[in-house]
């Protein structure tokens, strides 16, 4: 009994690989905003509760609250092992039909995943404690957790900390930054962006959109990773919000790859409280109906915003030294293009070559060739081209043109690969033909390289 | 013009990452047989032709010939970019309907992939030169190439070397070992095995089976990798040989993973010359027909042999420090079990954790949960169990039982993970229920870990 207990203790003191002092590397400072414009009616806080015993001072409980009820939508991990907060938040959204959501509460340090019935109760109690502090009835809070899998939450610490988190709520830039920091685990920097936008129905009215995310790989020892929360003061119907979020996430958070692993906790939620006034953005009546001008405009804004936010996750990829955009052009369908982009982004051989700054078009081509889920006839060797596009706007470096290898200027290739940023372009030369003989669907993925540091971080030398 | 030429030269002198002296590491010596029993009527040779200019003395042209015509079958890469020898060998088998094949000729050092029409002509000419030396008419040789992608073969060197290769043909163990070595590229040791077997129709008759393979990852800078050749002196019809090979490869060469990348040249071929006499093994008349006793027996022999051979590729995985078997049990269907095993075998997080000797069941579970191509209802968290099975036969270390995390004995976990060999068992707890409440389809995959050395090898520091 004593031995078992000792083992349990040992299991629970596993520590993160991230530096204990949470010092932000100099190279990442530029991704941290020094100011922001945040949506009206939203209040946020980041509070230290010490979910992990080793964390004695850093905020690890984030609360994002709206002064008025919000429309809300979320997309959740498709992993079959769904963490308790994922199950609880999905049920809250379902039973409320995406209306009347008031808050999102998030803890870092423990994922509350694979924790059975007790874990479900913990997740429910976190949300209810927030509701109680806000003085609202019914389940109106979404819950997220990120951290180690297979351990129960220190729930009393969290429940005891929620009143403080509520008392700390504020709308300043500093509060938003502290909140973004409170959801971090092995991230090396907080990921927060904000912007303003207008909608065609009221060009003079300014809306605000802010979002935070975390996730740097699915790390030590059993971490469950990616979370994102977006808030806007535009008025959006729940149905519109769900379809807008789904579209945006497919082209942002679901188009990035650190290591290809998908965690049990991945969740991105969006809240819209309408505090900026104006008409409510509605979803098209059917999938074939023409969307309203406001809907289309908001789709562009939200997708671009989610892309910028999700790219910060790639910037903070474990051990990453490169930020790579892969663009697959001129496919006859979007899904095939996306499958190819995803396969390249996940290939260990492509990722190690980029780390080694080697212009390995053969590995890229191989990945194109073995991509699964690509429609017949989309990949035709004789019309496939591969190029590197430098970030400085200089002409692309062609590696393969129409299936024929180019004589590569190795010095230029090497110079291009010295940069942190790189774009790889695969032109499938297909789709509906335009004046230039090409035309069709494009897909984009963002990913990072595989480095020695990735292996060190994830190899987790505990000895 | 001079500058372009200089670049071309520079491109072509890319060298392998493997040690130039081809010294075999001490830890791999035990996988090299010191003797063997080889099928009657087969003659082999490994000859130096210098496909790569930097190779001044090691054999790089392998010839495997039968004194009499063989039934033959092959499985080829599904990559959309198919190397010239793949296209040529497939056509040879098709036009001959798998009969009358006399030889396999293989060069290492250049993959003859993405080489256009000229590359096709080179592949055809290699086969015809062998036919000419053997004094046979019609295209009766299969051709394979492995090495760098996107470069033309030094075809005259190869054609000039084929008569020497033919003159060198022999049936000794040394000849087989030299031949196995001639197909290596970045492999650290030659991969050759042989065995004898009997068939139910003639229990007193001894048949022989030998095979060689190569491949250690899809390496530097643009390598096209896995090749395998199996030879037997049993008599087998082409149709039987094709279905037997397909079954065996699906459970062997297609159930291993180094890095999840699939090359343009992957080919496994089998030749059966019937030199040992006996009845010809025939395929079942239809897919629903009962196979003959000989067919079933040969299926077992060939599958087990291919598994042993393919495992040598995992043993030689780039930078590998672990040999891991993952067994997915009690699935309601084989394909789902296989998809899960494959996903675990490819997860960078699982592979780095194993390298770091960390009992990361959370990462394994995550990979189970995000596996694609798994039938609905196969993965049920509440009935999923995960164990480590030590190779010393001691009891399994249970990590997760029926969806509930076990209290892990970390010291024992650490001790188990010190071994080079490890078996991970995922029990899905499903399938047709037997007396023990379980029963169903199992799938097995073999893979290696991701180490710092993998990154070093594939990062390809050319500077």
Distance CA A90, CA A156 (A): 24
How many contacts does A have with B, using Cβ atoms within 8 A? 235
Tokens of B269: 């071929």
- Token pair 């429940």 is found at A159
Q: Mean pLDDT throughout A1-13?
A: 31
The answer for residues whose C-beta is within 8 angstroms of residue B3's C-beta and 6 or more apart is none
pLDDT in tens, A132-178: 999 998 899 999 999 888 889 999 999 999 999 999 999 999 999 99
pLDDT of A328 over the 90 cut: yes
Report d(CA A82, CA A100) in Å as an integer. 24
The total of other beta-carbon atoms located within 10 Å of residue A290's CB is: 10
Which tokens go with B180?
């196995």
- What tokens does B40 get? 């009657």
Which residue's entry shows tokens 């396969």?
A: A343
From A127, A133, A135, select the one nearest A91 (Cα to Cα). Answer: A127
Q: Are B213 and B309 in contact (CB under 8 A)?
A: yes
Token couple for B126? 């290699």
Residues 6+ apart with CB under 8 A from A207: A39, A196, A197, A198, A199, A232, A233, A234, A276, A278
Residue A10: band (very low, low, confident or very high) from pLDDT cuts 50, 70, 90 = very low
User: Helices B410-418 and A2-12 sit at what angle, rounded to 10 degrees?
Assistant: 70
Read off the pLDDT of each residue in A441-461 and give the average, rounded to a whole number. 80
Cβ-Cβ contacts under 8 Å for A167 (sequence gap 6 or more)? none
Which pLDDT score, from 0 to 100, does residue A409 have?
Answer: 86
Alpha helices in B255-347 (DSSP H): 293-315, 334-346
Q: Are residues A7 and B407, on separate chains, in Cβ contact within 8 Å?
A: yes
Element (H, E) at B387: strand B385-389
Query: A219, A191, A308, A215: which is closest to A266 by C-alpha?
Result: A215
**Alpha-carbon gap, residue B218 to B220, rounded angstroms:** 7
A436 confidence band (pLDDT: 50, 70, 90): low
Q: Take residue B435 and report the two structure tokens written for it.
A: 């007396």
Show the tokens assigned to B272. Answer: 């059966």
d(CA A115, CA A120): 8
**Residues 272-331 of chain B whose Cβ lies under 8 A from any Cβ of chain A:** none
Ramachandran category for residue A189: left, alpha or beta (phi over 0 → left; psi -120 to 50 → alpha): beta
Torsion sign across C-alpha atoms B212, B216, B221, B222: positive
Going by DSSP bridges, is the β-strand pair A61-76/A101-110 parallel, antiparallel, or unpaired? antiparallel
Residues 407-426 of A with CB under 8 A from B: 407-410, 414
Q: Which of A193, A194, A198, A208 is nearest to A297 (CA)?
A: A198
Pairwise CB contact (< 8 Å): B7 & A408: yes
Q: Which residues from chain B sit within 8 angstroms of residue A353, using beta carbons?
A: 221, 458-460
For residue A40, pLDDT over 90 is answered with: yes
Q: Do A452 and B451 touch (CB under 8 A)?
A: no
* Residue B50 confidence (pLDDT): 95
Residue A241 predicted with pLDDT over 80: yes
Instruction: State the virtual CA torsion across A350, A449, A226, A229 in degrees, nearest 10.
Output: -110
User: Burial level of A26, CB count in 10 A (0-12/13-18/19+)?
Assistant: exposed
Yes or no: say if B342 and B364 are a contact pair by the CB < 8 Å rule. Answer: no
Chosen from B455, B457, B460, B462 to mutate, greatest number of chain A CBs within 10 A: B455
Query: Longest C-alpha distance within chain A, in Å?
Result: 77
Q: How far is Cα of residue B334 from the mean position of the Cα atoms in its chain?
A: 21
Q: Are B210 and B221 in contact (CB under 8 A)?
A: no
| CA dist., res. B35 & res. B85, Å (int) | 31
Q: What is the reported pLDDT for A373?
A: 86
Which of B82, B112, B114 to mutate to probe the A interface, most A CBs <10 Å? B114
pLDDT confidence of residue B58: 92
For B395, counting Cβ atoms within 10 Å of its Cβ (0-12 exposed, 13-18 middle, 19+ buried), the class is: exposed
Instruction: Report the residue count for chain B.
Output: 463
DSSP string, B154-182: -HHHHHHHHHHHHHT-B-SHHHHHHHHHH
pLDDT for the residue B435:
59
Please pick, among B225, B232, B264, B384, the residue that the annotation labels catalytic. B225
Say which residues have a Cβ less than 8 Å from residue A157's Cβ, sequence separation at least 6.
A49, A50, A51
A82-134 per-position pLDDT tens digit: 999 999 999 999 999 999 999 999 999 999 998 889 999 999 999 999 999 99
Pairing mode, strands B397-401 and B385-389: antiparallel
> How does residue A188 score in pLDDT terms, banded at 50, 70 and 90?
confident
Question: What is the C-alpha to C-alpha distance for residues A407 and A435, in angstroms, rounded to an integer?
Answer: 28
Say which residue the tokens 């969290």 belong to.
A158
Contact assignment for B148 to A81 by CB distance below 8 Å: no
A8–B458 C-beta distance less than 8 A:
no
CA distance B166 to chain A (A): 33
| Residues pairing with B224 in the sheet | B147
What are B75's two structure tokens? 């499985």
For residue A2, name the pLDDT band (cuts at 50, 70, 90). Answer: very low
How far the first Cα of chain B sits from its last, in Å, is: 25
Burial of B286 (0-12, 13-18, 19+ CB in 10 A): exposed
Tokens 């197909």 -> residue = B183
Residue B225 annotated as catalytic: yes
Most confident of A28-37, A121-130, A250-259, B111-120: A121-130
Q: Provide the 3-class DSSP secondary structure of residue A446.
A: strand
* 3-state SS assignment for residue B7: helix
Which chain B residues have a beta carbon less than 8 Å from that of A365?
A: 81, 114, 149, 222, 264
Q: Which positions in chain A touch B403 (Cβ < 8 Å)?
A: 114, 116
CB atoms within 10 A of CB B377: 9
CA angle B49, B54, B56 (to 5 degrees): 45
DSSP code of residue A207 = E
pLDDT of chain B along its 463 residues, tens only? 233 333 332 332 223 434 445 578 888 889 999 999 999 999 999 999 999 988 988 999 999 999 999 999 999 988 888 999 999 999 999 999 999 999 999 999 999 998 889 999 999 999 999 999 999 988 999 999 998 888 899 999 999 999 999 999 999 999 999 999 999 988 889 999 999 999 999 999 999 999 999 986 544 334 457 899 999 999 999 999 999 999 999 899 888 877 666 678 889 999 999 999 999 999 999 888 999 999 999 999 999 999 999 999 888 887 788 999 999 999 999 999 999 999 999 888 888 888 888 777 888 888 898 888 899 999 998 899 999 999 888 999 999 999 888 888 888 988 898 899 999 999 999 877 665 656 688 999 999 888 887 777 767 543 3
Q: For A389-415, what is each residue's pLDDT tens digit?
A: 998 889 999 988 998 888 888 889 888
Tell me, what's the pLDDT at B105? 98
CA A96 to chain centroid: 25
What percentage of residues in chain A have a pLDDT greater than 70? 90
The answer to whether A212 and A222 have CB atoms below 8 angstroms apart is: no
Are the beta carbons of A90 and A57 closer than 8 angstroms?
Answer: no
Tokens of B28: 């791999």
Distance from the Cα of residue B47 to its chain's centroid: 22
pLDDT value for A365: 87
Q: Angle formed by the axes of helices B238-250 and B293-315, to 10°?
A: 40
Q: How far apart are CA B228 and CA A231, in angstroms?
A: 57
To 5 degrees, how large is the angle CA B311–CA B315–CA B319?
A: 140
**pLDDT of the residue at B461:** 42
Give the Cα separation of A353 and A26 in Å (integer): 26
- Helix boundaries (H) for B316-462: 334-346, 348-355, 361-370, 410-418, 452-459
- Lookup: tokens for B11: 């491109």
For residue A449, pLDDT over 70 is answered with: yes
Which pLDDT belongs to residue B437?
59
The secondary structure of residue A393, as a DSSP letter, is S
């Amino acid at each position: 009994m004593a031995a078992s207990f000792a083992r349990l203790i040992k299991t629970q003191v596993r520590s993160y690989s991230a530096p204990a002092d949470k010092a932000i590397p100099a190279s990442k400072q530029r991704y941290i905003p020094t100011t922001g414009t945040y949506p009206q009616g939203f209040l946020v806080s980041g509070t230290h509760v010490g979910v992990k015993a080793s964390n004695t001072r850093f905020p690890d409980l984030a609360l994002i609250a709206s002064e008025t009820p919000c429309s809300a939508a979320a997309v959740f991990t498709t992993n079959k092992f769904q963490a308790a907060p994922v199950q609880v938040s999905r049920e809250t959204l379902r039973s409320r039909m995406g209306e009347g959501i008031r808050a999102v509460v998030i803890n870092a340090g423990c994922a509350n995943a694979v924790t059975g019935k007790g874990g479900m109760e913990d997740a429910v109690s976190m949300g209810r404690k927030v509701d109680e502090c806000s003085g609202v009835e019914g389940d109106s809070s979404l819950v997220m957790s990120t951290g180690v899998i297979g351990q129960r939450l220190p729930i009393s610490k969290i429940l005891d900390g929620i009143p403080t988190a509520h008392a700390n709520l504020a709308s300043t830039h500093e509060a938003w930054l502290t909140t973004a920091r409170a959801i971090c685990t092995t991230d090396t920097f907080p990921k927060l962006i904000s912007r303003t936008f207008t909608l065609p129905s009221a060009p003079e009215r300014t809306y605000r959109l802010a979002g935070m995310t975390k996730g740097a790989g699915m790390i030590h020892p059993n971490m469950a990773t990616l979370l994102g929360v977006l808030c806007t003061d535009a008025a959006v119907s729940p149905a519109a919000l769900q379809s807008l979020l789904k579209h945006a996430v497919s082209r942002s958070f679901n188009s990035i790859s650190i290591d290809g692993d998908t965690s049990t906790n991945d969740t991105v939620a969006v809240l819209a409280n309408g505090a900026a006034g104006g008409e409510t953005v509605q979803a098209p009546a059917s999938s074939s109906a023409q969307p309203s001008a406001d809907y289309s405009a908001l789709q562009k804004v939200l997708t671009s915003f989610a892309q910028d936010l999700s790219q910060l996750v790639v910037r903070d990829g474990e051990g990453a030294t490169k930020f790579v955009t892969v663009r697959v052009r001129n496919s006859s369908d979007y899904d095939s293009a996306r499958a190819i982009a995803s396969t390249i982004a996940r290939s260990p051989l492509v990722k190690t070559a980029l780390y080694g700054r080697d212009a390995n078009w053969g590995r890229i081509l191989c990945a194109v060739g073995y991509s699964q889920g690509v429609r017949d006839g989309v990949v035709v060797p004789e019309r496939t081209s591969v190029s590197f596009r430098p970030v400085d706007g200089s002409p692309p470096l062609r590696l393969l043109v129409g299936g024929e290898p180019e004589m590569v200027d190795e010095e230029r290739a090497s110079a291009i690969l010295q940069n942190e940023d790189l774009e790889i372009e695969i032109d499938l030369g297909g789709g509906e033909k335009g004046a230039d003989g090409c035309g069709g669907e494009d897909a984009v993925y963002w990913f990072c390289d595989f480095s020695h540091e990735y292996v060190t971080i994830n190899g987790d030398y505990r000895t």
